[in-house]
Structure 1
């Protein structure tokens, strides 16, 4: 790498997985820049926080240009910024709400990637790590739009890795399951709620609350990010945590009917 230490840029780094990732990358020897919509703020140790809105082209361009001006290059981009919609029927979100979710979870990644790749290409190396979800591989009902955004990210990342590896740039996706962060607290409610889904919304809220009680710590995910960033031969996909690993294996080897039944049973949908 040309940078000494290497330069890492982590979006959505003010809390949760993004904050843990920034901390672990710093421990691994990276000079880390985190981003937040709320603006620049102090953060632990040498981690610098910058203002960024991944849904705004001008904000993305200005942030990347400023970082290149400061450091001369970017060795690692971690696309972590994202949000979800509280459990609800897919038809309970307006088109505007669906577009807003994709604008952050998917097109935010596209914006950041388009801004960073030219610099990585010129320097002849780079890593891009996208925070996906095991739900992008094993879809769960009543979070259909979030699932769709993460499924799109899977396909985009795989195609992108094929395109860029001959330029010295590798792309990986991290697939965590439930993680103890503020993500659930920051989800937004569906904006076109229907009474027909009232009972299942309440039931799923309880099930998900129970699942979060035994969810993985953000550090588990962050350590996988560091592993992917430092691997000599990085894999395209990395699961993070035992639950995600189990679900990935089930998706690969279990009969479709068994997986379908297991999902419905775990969410108490056939009572």
Structure 2
């Protein structure tokens, strides 16, 4: 009975502590969402708004009527879609090749990839490389330098090693070459890994900030994260319509944060069934 009472107390304390942590974590997200939908008059008349009496879309109308915001969302969407597809093709193809023992120079290639994980060239060499390629103010400067990740290649290689090479041999007997076997047999079996790493890449490309700050001097080519940082630094939108009455700066910032967050949150439910299995790639052998 004494042990049972201690277990109940321990369980109650756990629930209380975790509830407080959850509240502290969720409240800022809730507050950002609420303020972005609050009317200007109500926001200005109250010290804090926990639940607006009248919901309004004026902040979103102002932001989405601005060419700078629309353009930055388009740039980020291009990075997230095209960049993710290119990165998945390169990463998955390289990982599949390294997972097959018949590949000549496999160990040397793997050691070179591991070397890139341990040693990074740094900011200045990367900038010099991008400049020498003529990619300054080019959107591909945000894709090509980070086209693949050595760590992701190693993890995905572990997943492909769990796919027996006998499938490749059977495909070869049926007349398939390496490329056909890869696309028609191995790739469909790899959807959990593709979905998981696709989500990782999409989040990284959508959140591109520091590289865009380095390589993009033209504000018309900024992704949404750089535009959002510019707004948070109290700088107005570059192409704001002077005929429109802007809402308070704090409301615009909250609405911009929601716009920058929602797309990735909408993608996750479609990949959820593959995500749990995909994040475990390479962790279990056999």
TM-score by length of 2: 0.21
Greater relative CO (CA pairs within 8 A, separation 6+)? 2
* Greater Rg by CA: 2
TM-score by length of 1: 0.22
- Greater share of residues in helix: 2
- Greater share of residues in strand: 1
